[in-house]
Structure 1
Amino acid sequence: MQEFSEHLFRAQDGTRLYYREYGEPIPHQPSILCLSGLARNSKDYHRVALRLKSQGFHLVVLDYRGRGRSDYCADPTKYNPTVYLDDIRHLLTLRNLHKIILLGTSLGGLLGMGLGAALPSVLEAVILNDVGPDLKPDGLDRIIGYLSQRPVFESWEKAVSHIKSVFPQVGYEREEDWRWLTENSCKECDDGMIRYDWDPNIVMPMRIKAPLPDLWALFRSLSHVPVLSFRGGTSDILTEETFARMHRSHNNITCVTVPDVGHVPSLQEPESVEALDEFLLPYRRSAAAIQ
């Protein structure tokens, strides 16, 4: 049985974008739109998507422009949230998705808040993974630092070693999980060398450090929907103080701390699985019901 289907579409500026679908749309049921972190791609959600697909959900997982199998942009200024939101809106229109559960990790969560302001009626519920309306500067500097690197690896073993040094906060213990993360982060190129699976130029707009919009106002745009929010217990992006304020600021939010994990939880931890299953229970149909 095919695990997922693969698709390409063109954004309004002609950029070719890639997305995966797990399962098929279900009448009168919201689909789950998965949005990854800043330099991440659809591969990150594979394990989570397979599990949720087995519970009867339909999932759409996008590669942002400049990541994974989507086109890179000749103009780095197009690597910005406004363009990403336009791409997402175009995808939702293309797939005729009028109701979604937004599952957003890091940047994906910020874009989910943006959808709350731009397309409030499309959101049925929102899941935020280690992101909030305040971003800790030290964590952002760390991210800019590793995105600015352009390493080249001669073997997957050397790539795994590098990823371990870049993401020590992930908290993986099994070697197979580190290999999985490395294969999600890198690709083997035509010359046989292994490089990051994103355009290094995605970091260029971040170096400008332009003033951010009022992220708390964007977070408040989610007040009409249930929210599940995860925080890695040692996150250097989402602080305990911001997490607590988010809890106070929303009357229908569930906040879950995943211990001994930094930025970001994989959503495969026991605490994450339990919280996801409970949160999604009202939207779930059994796999048998759609066969």
Structure 2
Amino acid sequence: MASDEGFSDFFYTAADGLKLHARIYGETNAGGWPVVCLPGLTRNARDFHELALHLSSKAEIPRKVIAFDYRGRGQSDHDPDIGHYNAGGEAGDVLAGMAALGVEQAAFVGTSRGGLIIHVLGALKPTLVKAIVLNDIGPVIEAEGLAHIRSYLDRAPKPKTFAEAVDAQRRVHGVDFPALTDLDWARMVRAICRETEAGWLPDFDPALVDTLADIDFSKPLPDLWPQFDALDAIPLLAIRGANSKLLSVATLEEMGRRHPGMESATVEGQGHAPFLETGDLPGKIAAFLDRRA
């Protein structure tokens, strides 16, 4: 049963026994394909709350929306083996969650890491994916952008109050996100942090940061062009933050060349990754899904 906030919590068990979590919006909606929302590296299902409410209750075709917490994030169990924190394993967890929910096909919205997982899902189970929204991610990850992510995770502050947490996020990301309002920054903190006795802390397993420790940012990172090319028959909307350091203009243009039917949108005043609940993005995403899925 949905809560007053518009969703219900769903827990399921991964193949290795970890208890994992997802949010379900519009549980009884039957119009169009369900939408599966996959967050970034250290983010969680709360990132999609406003978008999920729009797609499940305000869009022309209201849909069931499933937003996952990967292992080690949000309400999912932490994994004692950090080697399991990888896109392939997380794709397997998503498949397990969809199977537990009886969802055999869906449209997917993936932010950053979530978009990489969509590439993996397309390779593992091509018939699963009916439409794709990639939020500031593509087959090529710019080393500068990933190095920036590792840098701020390494020195993440430990704010005591909500106001301090908002100020900390604005100091780190404000240059790349001049378009955000006070409300946007506050919503961001509530999505990515949890209130504890020690203050407002990031809502993920701190060991996740260690998974980036051995990356050599002086060398090009492996690309996913073969996996992307395999998605060329699937409707695709690619969103890029105009100030993004992770997804380059050149990569976005090459994506469009390889996937002639791809639609794209650039979000001014935002970097990596654009807030999908801001501006006209909820309506744009809903309209894309209504046309294509």
**What TM-score do you get using the length of structure 2 for normalisation?**
0.91
Match among 170, 181, 187 for residue 174 of structure 1: 181
Matches within 5 A, 1:263-274: 263-274=272-283
Q: Secondary structure at the match of 1:77?
A: helix
Deviation per CA, 1:159-199, whole angstroms, max 9, x where unpaired?
Answer: 1111112222233442222111111121112x252211111
Match among 106, 112, 118 for residue 106 of structure 1: 112
Structure 1 vs Structure 2 CA RMSD: 1.9
Residues 250 and 13 (structure 1), Cα distance of their counterparts in 2 relative to 1, 3 Å cut: same
Corresponding letter in the other structure for 1:100: A
Q: Distance in 1 between matches of 2:41 and 2:28?
A: 27
Matches within 5 A, 1:271-290: 271-282=280-291
8 Å Cα contact 2:131/2:289 also seen in 1: no
Query: Are 2:230 and 1:221 equivalent residues in the alignment?
Result: yes
Corresponding letter in the other structure for 1:265: P
Who is 1:256 aligned against? Answer: 265
Corresponding letter in the other structure for 2:63: F
Corresponding letter in the other structure for 2:140: D
Who is 2:47 aligned against? Answer: 44
Match among 166, 173, 184 for residue 191 of structure 2: 184
Deviation per CA, 1:87-120, whole angstroms, max 9, x where unpaired?
Answer: 0111111111111001000110111111111111
Matches within 5 A, 1:1-291: 2=4, 3-24=6-27, 26-27=29-30, 29-54=32-57, 55=59, 56-168=62-174, 169-189=176-196, 191-209=197-215, 214-282=223-291
Who is 1:288 aligned against? Answer: none
Report the count of equivalent residues.
283
Q: Distance in 2 between matches of 1:172 and 1:260?
A: 5
Q: Secondary structure at the match of 1:17?
A: strand
Deviation per CA, 1:120-159, whole angstroms, max 9, x where unpaired?
Answer: 1011111100001111111100101122235322211111
Q: Distance in 1 between matches of 2:50 and 2:200?
A: 23
Corresponding letter in the other structure for 1:221: A
Q: Secondary structure at the match of 1:208?
A: coil
Q: Distance in 2 between matches of 1:11 and 1:127?
A: 25
Q: Secondary structure at the match of 1:266?
A: coil
Percent identical among aligned pairs is 33
Q: Distance in 1 between matches of 2:49 and 2:213?
A: 31
Q: Distance in 2 between matches of 1:105 and 1:30?
A: 19
Corresponding letter in the other structure for 1:216: W
8 Å Cα contact 1:64/1:84 also seen in 2: yes
Q: Distance in 1 between matches of 2:178 and 2:12?
A: 36
Corresponding letter in the other structure for 2:130: E
Corresponding letter in the other structure for 1:47: E
Corresponding letter in the other structure for 1:44: D
8 Å Cα contact 1:147/1:200 also seen in 2: no
Q: Distance in 2 between matches of 1:159 and 1:214?
A: 34
Q: Distance in 1 between matches of 2:161 and 2:179?
A: 21
Residues 181 and 259 (structure 1), Cα distance of their counterparts in 2 relative to 1, 3 Å cut: same
**What TM-score do you get using the length of structure 1 for normalisation?**
0.91
Q: Distance in 2 between matches of 1:81 and 1:10?
A: 18
8 Å Cα contact 1:258/1:269 also seen in 2: no
Report the CA distance between 1:258 and its aligned residue.
Answer: 1.1
